[in-house]
Each structure stands twice: as C-alpha cells, then as structure tokens.
Chains A and B, each alone.
Chain A
Amino acid sequence: MSVELAAAAEQSPDEPSVPRGRLRLAAARVAGSRGALVGLVVLVLLFLLAFVGPYLTPWDYAAPDYGSLRQPPSGTHWFGTNGLGQDVFAQTVRGLQKSLVIGLLVAVLSTGLASLVGACAGYFGGWTDRVLTFLVDLLLIFPAFLVIAVLSPRLRGSGWIAFVLLLAVFNWMVTARVVRSMTRSLREREFVAAARYMGVGPFRIIWRHVLPNVSSFLIIDATVTVGGAVMSEAALSYFGFGVRPPDVSLGTLLAAGAADAPVFPWLFYFAAGLLVLFVLAVNLVGDGLRDALDPTAAAGRHRPRSRRGERTRRGDRRRPTRSTDTPSRRSTP
C-alpha cells in the first residue's frame, strides 16, 4: 500500500487533479473490459445488419418468388427460401429488426419500471410500500397471457410499440419485489443514513445510492429479460397476437422453421443463430457493465489485488462492531 501511495504521489505533482466522478470512471472501466467491447461491437453489427440488410437484397420479405420454393442458400437467395418462396435473408433481417427493438426495449422498460417501483416501495415504506406492493401482487396474479390476448386486437392500430409496452407491463413484478427487499436492507445501511443527514433528498438517494447498489441484480435481470422477451413475443405471435403475418420477427421465424429444421435447416438455423448471437452480446455487455459499476469486481480494475484481500474487506463490512477478525472465519465461504 505504502509503495502504491508513493507511486501515486509521484505521478501527481502539486497541482490538484479534479476527480473524475463515478460515471466517467465506470465508462472507462467498460472501455477497459474486453467482453463488453466485443458485445457492443456485435450489437452494433447486428443493428447494422437489421437496418441496412434489407437494402442489400433485391427481395422483399413478404413477396414470394414462385420460381424457387424451399431452395437451399444460393447466390440469388443468400439464406434460401421458404415454402412460400419468400427470401429467408430478407425475412431474417426484417425479423431481426423487430426482435432487437422488442427485446431491448422490453428489458429496459420493465427493469426501469421494476427498479423505480421497487426502490420507492422499499425506501419510503409505510403506505407507499403497501400500495405499491398491492399493485405488484395484483399484476402478478393477472393471467398475463390472457390479458395480452384480449387486449392486442384492440391495439392493432398502434403497432408494435403497444405490444412492447404490454410485454413490459407484465414482466417487471418479480424484479420489483426483489428490488424492494434489497432496498429495505440498504435503507438501514449507514451510508444511506449519512446521505439523509447531509440533506440529500429521497429521490437523489435512490438514484445515487440505492440503485447503484442493486445494479448488479438489475443488469443480470435485464439481460435475462432480453432473451425472454424475444421468446415470449414469439409465443404470442404463434397464437396470432403480436407480430402478424406477413410481418415477421425472429420468434415467428423460429416457430415456423422449428418443425422443418431437420430437413430444411436454413429455415431455422439462420434465425436461431442470430438470436443466440444477440442474447450472447447482450450478456457480454451486461457483464461488462456490472463489473464496471462494482468496484470490487476483478475485471476492468486499474490496480490488481489479491482476491483474498477483497474478501477480507467485505468481511469487515458485515460486522459493524469492533472485532478482530480471524482469517479462519473469513476463509470459510
């Protein structure tokens, strides 16, 4: 430590450096994490493919080419054609557009809603908590699938945005409950009390102290939701709600191609591969983000430290009273 201190002192001569702040530190750490960068690049490429792809091929996703039915990939039809003679590449990129947007939006919206409701319920307690928890429980017992099935014909005019909202609205409750209980324990922590006694407002405390400390959970939850949203959109579309033919999404392509996959693999595997790639990229970005926001994580840290040392410090944190810890107790997991 002292060696580090000396080194740091040498680097910074007398003129005081203004500290960088949390966001820029976290951004620097994301940039330093290889997984996150790879994930980001893949995501950008997927978006490019989805939105530029349709202009690369002369075929339209809906128009059939009666001359070639169920043709394997070739120079004219890059990903082959389906039973109606539609171009699979055109369909896949069109589906990718839908799925990328639906997956990411649903994840962001539902996690955002969950953290807002959960953190408010947990932080304020009392009546706020009771009302919000009641709301969460009420939505939990609603049969989501049925409600969406009933509502979606009425929302036909408003397009996929309404569909995204519906998916998000029925997806956030469990997360909110977890966030609420995590917030309740965070509220009792001294750093939150310290912020209160400094005169920091409640919403600022939630934003600056509570949410960053539950961010690991939120990020994992959001990345899982991305894949889940794409799949539940597919399930709903299969029953005729959501994305309707001739429009396609990755989910409808998968549903349609799954039965034919052993015989006509191009109908299934291109869509499936892109979906896997998409979810994988989101997970990589999520991992990088989580490590960037968690200063004790090993990745993206500027100064490497032994893992043991970290555990020691965390052990100290759990025990508020004066105690001389024994390493033996710490080392038991």
Chain B
Amino acid sequence: MTTPLLTVRDLTVDFDGHPAVRGVDLDLHRGETLGLVGESGSGKSVTALAVLGLLPATARTGGSVRLDGRELLGLPARQLAAVRGRRIAMVFQDPLSAFTPVHRIGDQIAEAVRTHQDVGRTAARKRAAELLDLVGIPDPARALDAFPHEFSGGMRQRAMIAMAVANEPDVLLADEPTTALDVTIQAQVLEVLRTARRESGAALVLVSHDLGVIAGSADRVAVMYAGRIVEAAPVDELFAAPRHPYTLGLIGAVPRLDGRGGPLVPIPGRPPAAGEPARPGCAFADRCPLTEDRCRTAEPPLTGTGTGSASGTGDHRAACVRADHLAATRPAPAEVYPVPALPAAVPRPRAARDSVLAVRGLTRSFPRHRGGLLRRRAGEVHAVDGVDLDIRQGETLGLVGESGSGKSTTLYEILRLAAPQGGRIELLGQDTAALDRAAVRRLRSRVQIVFQDPAASLDPRMPVGDVLAEPLLAQRTPKAEARRRVPELLRQVGLDPAHADRYPHEFSGGQRQRISIARALAVRPDLLVLDEPVSALDVSVQAGVLNLLQQLKAELGLAYLFVSHDLSVVRHLADRVAVMYLGRTVETGTAARVLTRPRHPYTRALLAAVPLPDPPAERARPRLLLAGDPPSPAERHLGCPFRPRCPVHAALAPEQRARCATETPPALPAAPGVDHTATCHYPD
C-alpha cells in the first residue's frame, strides 16, 4: 500500500473551550473516496473545514494534518492559500451562498484558475468552459456569462464542483454536497462528483449524514459521533457487520426503499449538541443498549483488526469495548435495540371505510406581476394543476414529489377549508366550497397539521402547556378542561407530563416534533396532515418519531396525509402513494404497487435516484438518471408535462411521440378494479 496522501492525526477543535472535534485520525489515499458520516453536531463538517484551515478565529485547532508529509496546521496564511484550491478543494453544502451573486459564473471559475495558474484571461475562460462541460452543464459557452441566481440548485452545485476541480486538486472535500437538493438532482450531482474525481484523479472526502449517499459513493467510511470517529471500515464491511452499536443503530434507524430491514430502531436519547461538555467515558454510553460499567469510566480507543492505521483499506476499527462481541455475533439492529411493539391496524377492506379526504382535479395558480408602480399581470404560475387524492379512514397516503411540484400548495389549499380555485375538495364527506363559518370551525378540529420544522412551528414564547391547550381553546373548550388534557397529551407522545411548564427551546428537535404532533392530536382529529414531519430531524431521532406516528395511527384510527420528498420514509409509512410532478398527480395507487412496480417513467426515475443504505444492492441497481431540471410551473405545456425529460418519450417512434406532445394523458388504472393509476400514454 502506498503512503497516504492526507493524514490527519489527533485533530482537535475547540470553540471557546467547548470541544467540537476530539482526536480524529484519518488517512486518505490517492484516488479513493472516504465517507464521513455523522448526525448534526458530530463534528464531521468541522473536521473537513479544519483540514483546510477554514474555521473561524474563535476555533482552536490542535493535532496534525499532513498533505504529502507537509504539515498544514499552523501554516502561514499565504502558504495555506497556495494549498487551498490548488491541492485541496472544497465543495460546500449550499451552492447559493458559495458563489458571489454579483459576478458571472465564468468569471468566478476563471478566477479560481488564474489564482493558482499563470494563464491568460482567454485561456482561463476556455478552461472554465471545459470544466462546465465536464460537469455536464448544457451550452457551457453561454453558461459562462450567467449569474449564479440564473442557475438552478443542481446547476449551481455542478458549477461549484467545476470550480473545485479547476486546478486538478489532489483532495476534494465535499461537505454535504447534495443535502439541499432533490433526489433526482442529487443523483445527477453524485454522478458528476464521480466523474470529476475520475477525471482529476483526486481523492474525495464525502461528508454526509445520509447513509444511502455514503453507501453508493464511498470506498471507506468513518462514522463520527460527538467529535470522535467511533468506527472506520471499508464500506461493504461497515454496512454488513458494524462493530459499534451506534453504527448498528444508525443502519437500523434508516427506513429502506426496498422494504427490507424490519422495523425501524430508534436510538433512545439525543445526540450531544456540539460543544456540550464531555463526561468521562464513552460519549454514546447514555444511549447505548449494551452499556456496561466500564463504558462510563474511560472512553474506548479506536482499535480493531488490520495491520495498523497506515495500512489503509483492509482494516476495520471501532471505538467500543464490545466491538469484538458485535463482530462475532453480527446481530441485526432490532436484536440489540429495543423496538417498541407496534399494534397492527385492523385491516378492514378499503371500500368499507369512510372517505376522509377526496380531492378531484384541484387547481391553484398564482398571478405573476411585473413592474413596480404600474403592476401588470405577466402570466400565471400553475402551482397545482390537476391533483387527485383519496384517503379513507385509518389510512396513510404518501404524497411524493420534488420541490416545486406543488405538494405544499396542495396542502394549504386543503387546509384553507374554502372553495378551491378549480376542482373539488371533499373533507369528511363535506364539500369545502359549501361550508359556512360554523361548519368551518367544526371541521377545523377534525383536520390538523404537523409542520416540517418543529422549531419554527412552535411559538418560542409559549410554554408547552399553552401550546397544547391552544387548539382546544380555539374550539371553545373550557380552560380548565384544556389544561387537564395537556399532561395526557404529553404522555401520549412519549414525553414527560411534568414538562408542560417548559418552553420549546428547552426540548431537542425530536421532542419538539412530538410536541407538534401532540398539539395536532389535542382536538382528536380524523385526518392529520404531515408536511415533511421528519426531514428536519436526525436519522436516529427520526425513527422514533416515525414509530410514534405508526403507533398513534393504529391506536386512534387516524388517517394521514403524509407529504415527503423522501421515498424511503414514504415506503415505510404509507398505505397508498400519490406521486406529483409539476402540480399534477402522475401516479397513484397502493404503496406496494407504486413503489415496486412503478408505471410512470417519472416514478421509476425517482425510485432509481433514491440511494440505498446497502452498498452491494446500491451498486447492483441500474442507474437511471433524469436529464435536466424540472421545468418552470409558469409555463403550461401542451400534452404531457414530463415529455422533455422523459426517457420513454426519447425512445419512442416519431408517430408515437406526437401523442405525447398533443394529448394530456389521463389517469388510467393498470387494470380494471386495480388501485394503481398512471398518467402516461405508454405506461409499463
């Protein structure tokens, strides 16, 4: 094995005396991809930034970072600047803020080239065009003159990668490069990263919280927890036989698209916040089901098989006293972690259950105005353009789509409880267009919403008891009775009833989402609208909330309208699925059918883009990349709106294509009486 390109030894980072990284060792070899996984606050991004010396002045860094044997820590700023961008380049999480908004993309890439290479203006520009071509931006010569805001998120991230590889660096650090992007765009960007790495021969450090992304891209993985690496292993070995209980829990907590892996295991407790003072012993001891007394006394070192840290890919190391035990027994996550018994819902036939929500042909458009003083109507944005939904009592409908597909607008239209712009909404058998004020008030208590971000949806200035009492008071429940119900609600969602006097900020993210759910349950609704309820949460916490939702559904007979961009979560929770594209439902049906035998090409592409947290399975899957970005909902298309990106359409004979271009496909069932429709002229 060659000597490593980048070696990190005993890296420590403190912020005002609060440790964020506590002794990290990493080796990176030429041409390999190292995945750095961890939840928020685990120190993975800080580690990446510390390598480049990009931390703010308040951070104190210790240890050693060597690139080709040359120490980088403590290097004077001028020498460090020569390394940054030239030898080590960075791809940031948020491509919007990583570009200067007032300069053209081409100029910014050319600047990166000219900073490190002695080339002329025109040569740098030519190189910039080549780079944009490499990352797959169409018409690179024109893209050079675009401003960052003219690019979509995916395009910006590609341009960011182009800029990072401009000087053919040896090491590419990608800090959550796809977190802000949709799945289909994420798949594109990951593919570009792979291409860029191959072309430039660089080693890649991929920092991510998403086990699926890591499983598909990394050669070796290091799992971080509370500022330390708790396990490091080649990717296949890590996923097949994790030796640290935390890794095992993480793998068990991720819902899987292929439906395998059994019940989700929640890891109890919460990850320590960054900079929280460390207690003696293993940082994971409080949450670990295998804790022993010796875990509380000393932090176990990162040890394991292999011929030492310098040897590279072969070794598997874990920082746990029970690592050998786990390596020998190879338990499934559910065998180690306590899994709550979920009561099974009573499977009554669908036709026998009452309809909770029926939406037919819902449309909603927003006028676009131009000009300041004399505002003129300049077209319309068709945010929702034909949505059909159907939810029966006690059933979960997963509404899936990328950002901009009109999911949220659909929700808000339903929750408005007023006559929709177009189409028909029937809630619990009542047409919302025909409601008077009293009926709206009564109906409000039967439909409740849980928002995506629990921190934003709870009034920071209200104690939790008042938060939970509010919907009851809005329904004119007597105050004393509302107060009495609060402890009961807290208990229902697994929180301590004594905490009703606390304010939202005193709870962790997962607990706050439980409070949101409790608030929604206060008025005993029939339908709960869940708007991305777990996407702001860490995986280990997310599993607990998902289990809670399942349990509540079974106990209370609730119906869920579950909106998510994460198909794995939908697969785990939903009975039926509706897929949205450009404001329309393109495919509906039972989850089992839609997600295993998709008929619409868009659904197929979505499913193919979701990374699986299982390296061999991920590698074996056929890649199906969608070209381009979703078109703007401001233009209305004749015919099928998916046509420009459709792989099926591209393969059609010209006379068949004409139909896609002129006729809007209707929602047709797969076979008479089968609950599975697709709006495609040529479905599978």
Contact = CB atoms under 8 A, between A and B. Distances in A.
B462 A309 contact: no
B209 A324 contact: yes
Contact of A18 (B455, B459, B487): B487
Chain B CB within 10 Å — which of A19, A294, A313 has the most?
A19
Interface stretch (B251-259, B334-342, B491-499, B672-680): B491-499
Contacts of B497: 12, 16-17
A308 B496 contact: no
Contact of B460 (A11, A18, A208, A213): A213
B669 interface: no
Interface in B415-454: 415, 440-441, 444-445, 447-449, 451-453
Interface in B450-504: 451-453, 455-466, 469-471, 473-475, 483-484, 486-488, 491, 496-501, 503
A326 B49 contact: yes
A323 B41 CA distance: 11
Contact of A2 (B55, B286, B447, B499): B286
A332 B56 contact: yes
A138 interface: no
Nearest to B272: A1
A16 B485 CA distance: 10
Contact of A11 (B18, B176, B498, B536): B498
A328 B59 contact: yes
A56 interface: no
B15 A327 contact: yes
A240 interface: no
- Summarize A's interface: helix, strand, loop or mixed: helix
A313 B179 contact: no
A316 interface: yes
Given A1-B270, A198-B474, A295-B505, A324 B483 contact: no
Contacts of B503: 295-296
A322 B535 contact: yes
Contacts of B498: 8-9, 11-12, 17
Nearest to B516: A194
Chain A CB within 10 Å — which of B44, B277, B449 has the most?
B449
Contacts of B269: 1-2
Given A198-B471, A310-B505, A320-B456, A5 B496 contact: yes
A190 B463 contact: no
A190 B470 contact: no
Contacts, number: 204
A25 interface: yes
Interface residues of B, number: 84
A212 interface: yes
Contacts of B46: 326-328
Contacts of B54: 328
A293 B274 contact: no
Given A19-B465, A191-B457, A327-B15, A25 B56 contact: no
A154 interface: no
B145 interface: no
Given A312-B274, A327-B20, A295 B461 contact: yes
Contacts of A321: 180, 535-536
A213 B1 CA distance: 61
B459 A327 contact: no
Contacts of A295: 460-461, 463, 503, 505-506
B372 to A, nearest CB: 16
A190 B453 CA distance: 8
A320 to B, nearest CB: 5
B355 interface: no
B486 A19 contact: yes
A2 B291 CA distance: 15
Nearest to B459: A191
15 contacts: A16-B497, A17-B500, A25-B463, A190-B451, A191-B457, A193-B451, A198-B519, A213-B460, A295-B505, A306-B277, A308-B16, A310-B505, A313-B505, A324-B40, A326-B175
Smallest CB-CB A-B distances: 4 pairs: A19-B465, A19-B500, A16-B487, A295-B503
Given A8-B498, A198-B444, 14 more contacts: A17-B500, A190-B453, A193-B457, A215-B461, A295-B461, A295-B503, A295-B506, A296-B460, A317-B455, A320-B452, A320-B536, A323-B176, A331-B58, A332-B56
Interface of A: 1-2, 5, 8-9, 11-12, 16-22, 25, 189-191, 193-195, 197-201, 204, 208-209, 212-213, 215, 293-296, 303, 306, 308-310, 312-314, 316-317, 320-328, 330-332
